[in-house]
Amino acid sequence: MSTDAIITPEEGELVVATIKTVKQNGAYADLDEYEGVEGFIFIGEIASGWVKNIRGFVREGQRVICKVMRTRRDGTSMELSLKSVSEERKRDRLQEWKNEQRAQQLLKVLGEKVGWSEDDLSEQTNDLIEAFGSLYASFEEAAMQEGSLQNAGFEGEWIPAFVEIAVENIIPPFVEVRGALTLSINVIDGVSVIRGALQAAEALSNEEEEIDVKCFYDGAPMYRIELRAPDFKVAESIWEQATGAVLEHMKTAGGEATATRE
């Protein structure tokens, strides 16, 4: 492989690396996310303070999070620092790497299910990363919000299977459901009636249960309802209750109303 073809991280980037060899003056490590690229951690960059025995801090086969301090001229070797990364940033970066590894496995499962070739899988991986920032983020968005893939410009018979895998395997921080409301009533206090209908929906918000329901005015007779819930099961239930409350309130007052999911 030529040096020009090698992809390398930027200086200051946090990288996932596996310790390959431990020497007296430092340790060599392979960068897990960059094929053919290795780094060297000088003993002075292993830990803060004096390091009496380097093997007390790193060992062969250990996975570590390092900061890229400098790229050497050959482009295939980096000077890395272990001590420059806080424990919190180490945990976050390692979890990000684990999430991405898991997402790659899930997409591979999908590819086998829908009959993708290796080229198809590679192309779809790149497209999803470009659209969502990371492969894991694409699965997370699909598990959180209906239509996220379509909204990002994707199409195809593979999408339902992708969403199914995402919902079954990814635990998002919350899910979102959105919809349109069409509300109309021909009475003197019609504005108050509509306001009351929307408030009936928003009354289902519950901070302790992480449920949030909000309604917005898009221009009469169109309104919008957005809700967040901890999972799809709760979201579905709240959607039914919220739209049911709106429709019942409008019907009781002699108005008309419809609710449509996005």
| Domains assigned to the chain | 14-85 (2.40.50.140), 89-169 (1.10.150.190), 175-261 (3.30.70.1130)
Candidate from 18-22, 76-80, 151-155, 197-201 with smallest mean pLDDT: 76-80
pLDDT at 75: 63
Confidence of residue 91 (pLDDT cuts 50, 70, 90): very high
The sign one gets for the Cα dihedral 43, 61, 16, 39 is positive
pLDDT at 5: 56
Three-class DSSP category at 47: coil
pLDDT at 8: 84
Pairwise CA distance, residues 80 & 34, whole Å: 14
pLDDT at 6: 66
Confidence of residue 32 (pLDDT cuts 50, 70, 90): very high
Confidence of residue 83 (pLDDT cuts 50, 70, 90): very high
Confidence of residue 2 (pLDDT cuts 50, 70, 90): very low
Other Cβ atoms within 10 Å of 175 Cβ, number = 20
Phi/psi-derived region of residue 49, left when phi > 0, alpha when psi is between -120 and 50, beta in every other case? left
| Residues 251-262 pLDDT 10s | 999 999 999 998
Rounded to 5°, angle at Cα 132 from 127 and 137: 115
**Averaged pLDDT score across all residues of the chain:** 91
Specify the pTM.
0.63
Specify the pairing of strand 26-31 against strand 222-229: unpaired
| Residues 164-177 pLDDT 10s | 999 889 877 788 88
| Residues 93-126 pLDDT 10s | 999 999 999 999 999 999 999 999 999 999 999 9
Confidence of residue 146 (pLDDT cuts 50, 70, 90): confident
